[in-house]
Structure 1
Amino acid sequence: MVKRGKKFFKVYLPGQSTQQLRIPPAFIKEFNGTIPSKSTIMNHGRRQWRVEMNMVGNNLYFQNGWHKFVGDNTLEYGDFLVFSYFGSSKFYVKIFGKSGCLKEVPIPTGKTTQKALTVFQENQTFKPRKSEERGKQIAIEENDGARKAATKFDSAYPFFQIVIKPSYSAEIKGCFLNIPFRFFKEYMEKGKENAVLHVSTKSWPVKVKIYQNRQARFSMGWAAFAKDNTLKAGDVCVFELIKRDDFVLKVSIVRG
């Protein structure tokens, strides 16, 4: 088997590394013909993921479970990953951003549950989920493909979901988006008026407005975000608060 502490590195490229990651061929030789089918990958925040390892032709890949690792660690173009093997199918990985510095990663405590909020309609009450499992969404009653798909979303970060209504979409140049006030109150620092919406390698600055009727919304900048991402009525946007101090939200879009 591979010697403990043996290392390899990979550069994250979204077009090639989102669904699977190829392990360097030179590293495969270290297994001496006994390649594990399952592995555990632990980041520098001590969180673990179960990821399958499969041979495709002469190449070895991290596959099932890798996509979740990518999402949970908000990997971006150019991120530098250093893997260390510690035996028993266990890998430890350090993730460095394009700045050259170690990236911040979620560190779940196991004692608290992130609150996921779902908004089906502009005037519908949104509720914290009841499940104690991190990132599980409350059930969606509507028989809608995008909404049903969104229930499978899982994250270690606080997050909420919005079903895009015509007034929010790019089709009519929607200029604002109402966001759950309870989410804003609990997770987003008062007094700040700016947020950043992040999709893949691109970012959009938006203004955050608070009204006396206990309503929060994204205003200036939302229209550009909706247009650039061609949001349409029926799409579902999942907003993860990946950097609380700077109001940075990673947005995943489930198309309707």
Structure 2
Amino acid sequence: MESARYGDKTLLEFFKVFLINKASTQLQIPTSFTKFFNGIAPCKIILIDHDGKCWDVNLEKIEGRLVFKNGWQQFAKEKNLEEGDFLVFEYDGMSTFNVKIFSKSGCRKGATPPSREKIVPIVNLEEDSDEFSDKIQSNGIRKRSLPNPKIKVKSVLEGACPSEGARRRSKRLKEEKDKQNDKKLVLTEHAPLQNPHFQIYFDAHWRLEKVEIPKKVIKEMKIKLNRNITLRDENDRSWPLSIISTVNQDRHYFGGGWLDFKQSNNIEEGCQCDFQFVVDKANVAKELLVRVRSKGGLQIV
């Protein structure tokens, strides 16, 4: 276990050797590592693998020891943990652990080998308007494949090609749709959406440690989130911020970078922050503008 410097960020790490009889249903955190929680351990944490995939895991105290409990078994199963695997946990100081997994050979373990994946091609000539066919994996996820020249030739020979009149109608509809989209995309690049904002009142300490972006804002404004975004205050100071999303992309949290922003702006229990998204033409969030208000409701400058 060690604490190291990486740029301006302190990394807290510990390692565990995976033993099936001890760690298949729960994993104990080293006792000496618990001091880094500063006396207040989060009830829920997020595990992130090297691909950015996330798992929600409960942190529980059992017989005086902190363990990863509910959610850990699913993580171990999906990562195919085996006897003797070496795991390195990197703590971000809030509620997130980045996990690196190494096999007994000493090499980092990757994702499930492609050979285990069963791909079944599905071809539908009537609906294949964009000349791309779908492929469905055994896990239910669709993949787009490159166009098949033979399929295209076959569709022409069998009379599947639309008539001249149909092509003209299709072109006219496409032009009308493009005009409508152009009206929607009048926004200049990086211009704020109409009222895409939210407020958070930090009425409890745990809210300072685990900040969640309201699902309602993301859904109603159709905002797309990347893994990295910029926090910017009213003095035009900026901080890089990572966005942590759950496996099903249903919930989104502030990750690395929030701690630095919070400390730089003296945000504490009782403060309130107003957040406003800045997006590009595709509704991809580029920045979060932040206005910080003190306990008395006054803006912090």
Assess same fold via TM > 0.5: no
Which has more radius of gyration? 2
* Higher helix fraction (1 or 2): 2
What's the TM-score, normalizing by structure 1?
Answer: 0.41
Q: Give the TM-score, by structure 2 length.
A: 0.35
Between 1 and 2, higher relative CO (CA 8 Å, sep ≥ 6) is seen in: 1
